[in-house]
């Protein structure tokens, strides 16, 4: 579960308000899609949730742990996939996975089973002993995803996770999302792909100029659509974010 | 269609644009302006840098006095020009040596190459832009060596307009010839290395060979041919500068640009001055042109594909996987392992971090080796620095122990490993922020890594002190003890400085360590701590206390400082980690 209560964050000494009084709850077992135009505040919100940024005001809790007051407990139950896979290029894929397994305290038996599973799914098994430096962008993205899945976290936060993935990997990742949430866990991700959000997400939030302009299931969002002309998420998105 | 044909800028305009972009990107002027004026960050650095600048004034004053004295000895003999040559040659050789680092990093490891290469630019233009950045960097590097000599001699000799105008032009041209030579050597080396599968290892070995060669050249030439002995100072200085077999004449014979530069400055607007100035500038331009031509043929062949690694595609068997999947190390061990692997596998970090800690001991080994080769066993002949050091090392035991401890501490702590430990993570720092490991535990693992690198320097220095300076084991042990304790606080202070303002947005790994201001600030702090320790020990010696008492008090003082600085570091880590955005 992720809870944001009246969270605000500004840059440049308050001149640029990236997130403005955002209140939002993502429930256990829920895939939550976070949409918004470029610069709307998606990545800032995500970085606030995982503790990479500190809010100016408001409270953020993950699985009941206050991110500001109990950061280690919050981090222990959360993994994060950034929008760009900046990882240790001089380590091999397996060394990176071992590092993540060590710092999250994943026992060997579970580690072995999960590493084997995700390496097969992401087709990384034959390159896992090579330096990450030698991987393509998509392969780097996959090793970050495999590392995020390794601790089997209760909450996963992903920033544009489908960018750079081939169709097969994207399909498998979407299946993994469903599997993760069916086990009662929480998944919060940002995307620009409306079709994915529409088909995959239990609920969707749309952020514009730092404010949550819509939030709910697909049916609830359709009810918000005042034009009553288009019923697709894309049209709703365009209407809500045109100003 | 060419850019010009498409209505774009001409070749000169395009080159100027590329150079301007390179300078802006490298020196981060826009970012600095934004941080200082808009975000109002880093303002605390301004007075600190001012303070650091003020603190070196006494040192420069001492250098100026020394130059003045030497000038006074040389002037009656009409040899004052040799002093000018010495300053200029020292600057050029410094560029030759350190330029190797800069050139390899800027030409081959800068991340901006990824977007520069696809642009419609010629390889020579890209290389020229990078060359300009290095030249400007070198102006700063050699300023401390060249400017005091040129300015002091100019004032003492009452140099006219010709002296100062030519001096300014020579200063601007000074780094060009050595850097162009280094660039040509590096471009040729990288062209060969890029076809190899073991690129990283070869880059390391190749760099060491180039550096070793530059060192050998300097030290080999540095063996003064004149006699006299250290006691005959005026005669020794005169011989050093004027003997036909002297350092200057030998370097001048091998590296004439230094002599041209001297004659250009000293000759002023007279025929000799203008002719040598023309020669210096002409050769500089010819070498730049040669470098651009070489770049057109070799640069991209050396750089494209350099980042590619030759990993084989092979699946691990179940047993192999089981063996290689860790059974669960503690987070501390995992972070230490990460630091160790990344440092040792990144050639720029390894060269500028770990290897620097054995740099100074290596100079001593080279000096001693060349000394033996040249003199057949190393006599205490005139001007022999090793003999002088050996003589010092056979003095009062307390002085020997403290001197050896200082030597070991400097060898251990001069590298930038501690003061770049957070900066080196760069864009990957988000991982350290995200993992569920307390900042103080992460910092403790990083501390151990930096401290082990310092210990490597201490160990190497101990061996050099024992083998080449003949320091007895009874003196080495307490000296090593002192330097190991001193290393704790120096490591902690270096890490605190880097943690206070980590440089995480670098695109060239050289920036994270070699061009990182934090490394310089840490060196200033180290000098401060060691100076305080020096004056403390000096006061104790003057009080005529027993050797064991003096050593005990110094050790206790350093231990208190070590405990306080590590406690402060861990506390600062808990505070600072969440603040870094």
Domains identified in chain A, total number: 2
Minimal C-alpha gap between B295 and chain A (Å)? 26
The verdict on a CB contact (< 8 Å) between A103 and B331 is: yes
The verdict on a CB contact (< 8 Å) between A54 and B430 is: no
Q: Which residues of B touch A81 (CB under 8 A)?
A: none
Of residues B326, B426, B436, nearest to A76 (C-beta): B436
The verdict on a CB contact (< 8 Å) between A134 and B431 is: no
Q: What is the dihedral of CA B129, B131, B137, B141, to 10 degrees?
A: -170
Q: Which residues of B touch A108 (CB under 8 A)?
A: 325-328
Q: What φ, ψ does residue A22 adopt, rounded to 5°?
A: -90, 125
User: What was the pLDDT predicted at B92?
Assistant: 83
User: Are residues A146 and A179 located together in one domain of the fold?
Assistant: no
User: Are residues A52 and A121 located together in one domain of the fold?
Assistant: no
User: What was the pLDDT predicted at B254?
Assistant: 66
Specify the higher pLDDT residue, B260 or B216. B260
User: Are residues A203 and A98 located together in one domain of the fold?
Assistant: no
Lowest mean pLDDT among B39-48, B374-383, B453-462: B374-383
Q: Using a CB–CB cutoff of 8 Å, tell me whether A152 touches chain B.
A: no
Q: Whole-angstrom Cα distance, residue B300 to residue B291?
A: 13
User: Are residues A63 and A27 located together in one domain of the fold?
Assistant: yes
Q: Using a CB–CB cutoff of 8 Å, tell me whether B317 touches chain A.
A: no
Taking only the tens place, the pLDDT of each residue in B553-562 is 999 999 999 9
Q: Using a CB–CB cutoff of 8 Å, tell me whether A166 touches chain B.
A: no
B211-225 average pLDDT score: 58
Interior/surface letters B213-226, b for 16+ CB within 10 angstroms, e for the rest: ebbebbbebebbbb
Q: CB A104: neighbour CB atoms within 10 A?
A: 23
Question: Which residues are CB-neighbours of B535 under 8 A, at least 6 positions away?
Answer: none
The mean of the pLDDT values for chain B is: 80
Lowest mean pLDDT among A54-63, B356-365, B434-443, B546-555: B356-365
Q: Which residues of B touch A87 (CB under 8 A)?
A: 428, 431
For β-strands A65-66 and A57-62, DSSP reports them as: antiparallel
User: Are residues A166 and A228 located together in one domain of the fold?
Assistant: yes
Q: Which residue of A has its CA nearest to B505?
A: A86
Residue A230 lies in a domain: yes
User: Are residues A53 and A163 located together in one domain of the fold?
Assistant: yes
Secondary structure letter of residue A203 according to DSSP: E
Residue A118 lies in a domain: yes
- Extract the tokens encoding B386: 């090793």
pTM of the entire predicted model: 0.76
The verdict on a CB contact (< 8 Å) between B309 and A134 is: yes
pLDDT surpasses 60 at B453: yes
Q: Whole-angstrom Cα distance, residue B485 to residue B489?
A: 7
User: Are residues A172 and A236 located together in one domain of the fold?
Assistant: yes
Domain of A121, in residue numbers = 87-152
Q: Which residues of A touch B331 (CB under 8 A)?
A: 102-103, 105
User: How does residue B226 score in pLDDT terms, banded at 50, 70 and 90?
Assistant: very low
B193-200 average pLDDT score: 64
Secondary structure letter of residue B111 according to DSSP: T
User: Are residues A67 and A177 located together in one domain of the fold?
Assistant: yes
Q: Using a CB–CB cutoff of 8 Å, tell me whether B338 touches chain A.
A: yes
B212-233 average pLDDT score: 51
Of residues B324, B334, B581, nearest to A99 (C-beta): B334
The verdict on a CB contact (< 8 Å) between A54 and B321 is: no
Q: Which of A133, A152, A171 is the last residue of a domain?
A: A152
Dihedral class, residue A33 (left if φ above 0, else alpha if ψ from -120 to 50, else beta): beta
User: Are residues A62 and A42 located together in one domain of the fold?
Assistant: yes
User: How does residue A155 score in pLDDT terms, banded at 50, 70 and 90?
Assistant: very high
* Secondary structure (3-state) at A24: strand
Q: Which residue of B has its CA nearest to A50?
A: B434
- Touching A: B residues 11-40, CB under 8 Å: 38-40
Residue A82 lies in a domain: no
Q: Which of A98, A133, A152 is the last residue of a domain?
A: A152
- Extract the tokens encoding B407: 């030597």
User: Are residues A146 and A41 located together in one domain of the fold?
Assistant: no
ipTM exceeds 0.95, yes or no: no
The verdict on a CB contact (< 8 Å) between A111 and B434 is: no
B574-578 average pLDDT score: 94
pLDDT surpasses 80 at B370: no
Number of Cβ pairs < 8 A linking chain A and chain B: 120
User: Are residues A51 and A163 located together in one domain of the fold?
Assistant: yes
User: How does residue B545 score in pLDDT terms, banded at 50, 70 and 90?
Assistant: confident
Q: Which of A125, A152, A179 is the last residue of a domain?
A: A152
Q: Using a CB–CB cutoff of 8 Å, tell me whether A116 touches chain B.
A: yes
Of residues A12, A104, A111, nearest to B436 (C-beta): A104
Q: Which residues of A touch B434 (CB under 8 A)?
A: 50-52, 75, 79-80
The verdict on a CB contact (< 8 Å) between B316 and A12 is: no
User: Are residues A92 and A53 located together in one domain of the fold?
Assistant: no
pLDDT surpasses 70 at A94: yes
A226-243 average pLDDT score: 72
Taking only the tens place, the pLDDT of each residue in A37-84 is 988 999 999 999 999 999 999 999 999 999 999 999 999 999 999 999
Of residues B309, B329, B426, nearest to A130 (C-beta): B309
A91-113 average pLDDT score: 95
The verdict on a CB contact (< 8 Å) between B436 and A13 is: no
pLDDT surpasses 80 at B172: yes
Of residues A91, A100, A125, nearest to B341 (C-beta): A91
Q: Using a CB–CB cutoff of 8 Å, tell me whether A243 touches chain B.
A: no
The verdict on a CB contact (< 8 Å) between B314 and A90 is: no
The mean of the pLDDT values for chain A is: 90
């Amino acid at each position: 579960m992720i809870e944001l209560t009246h969270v605000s964050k500004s840059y440049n000494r308050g001149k640029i308000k990236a997130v403005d009084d955002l209140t939002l709850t993502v429930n256990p077992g829920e895939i939550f899609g976070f949409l918004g135009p470029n610069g709307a505040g998606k990545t800032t919100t995500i970085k606030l949730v995982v503790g990479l940024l500190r809010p100016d005001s408001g409270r953020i809790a993950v699985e009941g742990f206050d991110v500001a007051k109990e950061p280690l407990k919050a981090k222990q139950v959360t993994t994060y996939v950034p929008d760009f896979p900046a990882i240790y290029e001089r380590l091999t894929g397996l060394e990176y996975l071992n590092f993540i397994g060590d710092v999250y305290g994943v026992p060997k038996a579970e580690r072995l089973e999960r590493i084997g599973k995700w390496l097969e799914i992401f087709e990384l098994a034959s390159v896992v002993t090579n330096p990450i430096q030698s991987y393509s962008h998509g392969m780097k993205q996959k090793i970050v995803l495999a590392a995020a899945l390794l601790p089997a976290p209760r909450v996963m936060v992903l920033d544009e996770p489908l960018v750079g993935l081939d169709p097969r990997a994207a399909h498998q990742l979407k299946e993994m999302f469903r599997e993760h949430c069916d086990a009662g866990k929480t998944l919060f991700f940002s995307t620009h792909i409306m079709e994915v959000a529409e088909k995959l997400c239990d609920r969707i939030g749309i952020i514009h100029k730092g404010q949550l302009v819509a939030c709910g299931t697909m049916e609830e969002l359709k009810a918000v659509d005042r034009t009553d002309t288009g019923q697709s998420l894309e049209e709703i998105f365009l209407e809500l974010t045109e100003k | 269609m060419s850019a010009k044909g498409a209505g774009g800028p001409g070749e000169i305009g395009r080159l100027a644009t590329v150079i301007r972009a390179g300078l802006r990107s490298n020196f981060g002027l826009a970012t600095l302006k934004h941080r200082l004026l808009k975000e109002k960050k880093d303002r605390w650095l301004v007075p600190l840098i001012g303070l650091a600048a003020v603190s070196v004034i006494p040192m420069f004053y001492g250098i100026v006095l020394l130059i003045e004295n030497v000038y006074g000895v040389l002037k009656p003999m009409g040899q004052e020009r040799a002093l000018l040559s010495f300053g200029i040659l020292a600057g050029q050789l410094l560029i030759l040596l350190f330029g190797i680092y800069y050139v390899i990093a800027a030409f081959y490891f800068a991340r901006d190459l990824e977007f520069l290469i696809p642009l419609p630019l010629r390889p020579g233009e890209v290389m020229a832009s990078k060359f300009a950045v290095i030249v400007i960097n070198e102006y700063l590097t050699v300023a401390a060596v060249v400017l005091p000599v040129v300015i002091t001699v100019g004032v003492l000799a009452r140099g006219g307009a010709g002296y100062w105008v030519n001096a300014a032009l020579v200063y601007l041209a000074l780094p060009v010839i050595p850097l162009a030579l280094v660039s040509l050597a590096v471009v040729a080396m990288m062209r060969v290395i890029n076809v190899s599968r073991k690129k990283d290892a070869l880059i390391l070995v190749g760099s060491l060979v180039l550096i070793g060669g530059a060192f050998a050249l300097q030290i080999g030439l540095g063996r003064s041919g004149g006699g006299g002995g250290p006691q005959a100072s005026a005669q020794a200085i005169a011989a050093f500068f004027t003997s036909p077999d002297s350092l200057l004449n030998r370097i001048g014979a091998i590296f004439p640009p230094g002599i041209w530069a001297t004659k250009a400055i000293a000759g002023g607007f007279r025929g000799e001055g203008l002719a040598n100035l023309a020669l210096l500038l002409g050769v500089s331009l010819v070498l730049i042109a040669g470098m651009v031509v070489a770049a057109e043929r070799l640069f991209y062949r050396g750089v494209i594909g350099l980042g590619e690694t030759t990993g084989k595609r092979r699946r691990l068997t179940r047993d192999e996987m089981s063996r290689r999947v860790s059974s669960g190390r503690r987070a501390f061990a995992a972070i230490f392992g990460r630091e160790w692997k990344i440092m040792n596998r990144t050639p720029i970090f390894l060269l500028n971090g770990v290897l620097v800690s054995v740099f100074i001991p290596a100079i001593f080994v080279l000096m001693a080796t060349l000394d033996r080769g040249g003199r057949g066993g190393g006599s205490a002949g005139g001007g022999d620095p090793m003999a002088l050091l050996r003589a010092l090392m056979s003095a009062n035991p307390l002085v020997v122990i403290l001197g050896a401890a200082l030597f070991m501490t400097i060898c251990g702590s001069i590298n930038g490993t501690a003061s770049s430990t957070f900066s080196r993570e760069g864009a990957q720092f988000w991982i350290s922020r995200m993992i569920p490991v307390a900042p103080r535990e992460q910092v403790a693992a990083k501390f151990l890594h930096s401290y082990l690198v310092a210990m490597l320097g201490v160990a190497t220095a101990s061996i050099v002190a024992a083998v080449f300076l003949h320091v007895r084991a009874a003196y080495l042990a307490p000296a090593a003890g002192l330097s190991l304790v001193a290393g704790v606080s120096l490591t902690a202070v270096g890490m605190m400085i880097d943690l206070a303002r980590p440089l995480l947005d670098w695109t060239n790994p050289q920036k994270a360590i070699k061009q990182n201001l934090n490394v310089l600030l840490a060196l200033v702090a180290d000098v401060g701590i060691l100076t305080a320790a020096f004056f403390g020990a000096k006061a104790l010696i003057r009080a005529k206390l027993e050797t064991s008492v003096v050593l005990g008090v110094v050790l206790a003082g350093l231990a208190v400082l070590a405990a306080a600085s590590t406690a402060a570091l861990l506390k600062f880590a808990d505070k600072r980690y969440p603040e870094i955005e």
